[in-house]
Structure 1
Amino acid sequence: MAQREHHYRVNIEWTGNKGQGTESYKAYSRDFTISALNKAGITGSSDPAFLGDKSRWNPEDLLVASVSACHKLWYLHLCAEAGISVFAYQDRAEGTMVDGDRGHFTRITLRPEIVIREGDDIQRAADLHHQAHEQCFIANSLNFPVECRPIISCTSEK
């Protein structure tokens, strides 16, 4: 299969100049806005540990969210192909980062809770998480482990 290139363009605008620029470490806000053509903006900041606004998304949150969302999208696709009907999907993903001389993530753990149609194959639904992980573009781009600990239940909804 031939490889295709996909390009993504976003704009990051720093909105944290309090009038003194970056005169000192505490003189400026870490606030920013992420935007892209025809998409709603996302307000961001740094993690509160680094003087950021806790009410805004930080880059670390966005990384964990990207891994979780990519995995979910692949999982739903694979379930649809396998004839497994997913009625609900919620992930309580968590990332671990260490800081120091060179901060980095050490792990992301996905904890999806999935409800599938009664009678569908729960073991097959669980196994598809491994395949979703193998397909996930974001997880394939990382240099640390991503674990998935799914909980799957059934519903009698049709």
Structure 2
Amino acid sequence: MTCSPEEAVRGLWRTVAARDFDAFGDWLTDDCVYVDMPVGLALAARGPVDIAKRVSIGLAGLAAYENHDGLLVADGDAVMYEHSETWTFTSGETFVLPFATVHRVRDGKVSLWKDYWDFGAIMNHAPAWWVESLASADTSWVYDATGLI
């Protein structure tokens, strides 16, 4: 049975909250595109495996992560989700990052995932060691979505 667009988005975010990167394929189409809009379309990821790699760069090494459910609005296959995340770093720093996320859903799975958030908020709150670790992160997931979205 195919789930509704709202159910697909909520299922995806339960999976993100659990940091169950192996289960992303349960909620994402094989050709799903993920974009952190503040960093641009040239640094998108495509497909569940690469999207999991991309998302894990930020979340896997945290001491704790919590997604705070918020407003979800659906219009056919388009779903907008306003939420926030609490990031707790292994060195003790904690901050809350507000998000607005836009999804497109096809056949019960998310086919487009665009996150809108404040890049400055991360840079102002994340510890220097975490920011520095981004320079050596796995970038095998990089997909240039310019012209696609």
> Does TM-score exceed 0.5, indicating one fold?
no
Give the number of the structure whose residues are more often helix, by fraction.
2
Bigger fraction of residues in strand: 2
- Answer with 1 or 2: which has the greater Rg: 1
With a CA cutoff of 8 Å and minimum separation of 6, indicate the structure with the bigger relative contact order.
2
